[in-house]
Amino acid sequence: MEIAPRITIDEKVRFGKPVIKGTRVPVDLVLGKLAAGMTYEEVMAEYDLAREDILAALDYAAKHLSNEEVRAIA
């Protein structure tokens, strides 16, 4: 099931984690690789992804985090 542009979930693929559509590459893996310093081009080559796939992963994460509530406990 497509949950965002280019992002899908399927309980039979990666235990239902969000993945790049048509692949088994989890969104969190793409984000982690970018956070670790890999370039878009390196991630694209390593996982056979398009630039649009990486941008979709970033967009999905940004939208998911925008709904998160954080409360300070003093």
Spell out the domains of the chain, with CATH numbers in brackets. Answer: 2-66 (1.10.10.10)
Structure confidence at residue 70 as a pLDDT band (50, 70, 90): confident
Confidence of residue 46 (pLDDT cuts 50, 70, 90): very high
Does this model's pTM top 0.75? My answer is: yes
Query: Does residue 22 register a pLDDT over 90?
Result: yes
What's the mean pLDDT in 19-24?
A: 97
Torsion sign (Cα): 35, 15, 70, 57: positive
Tell whether the model's pLDDT for residue 67 goes beyond 90.
no
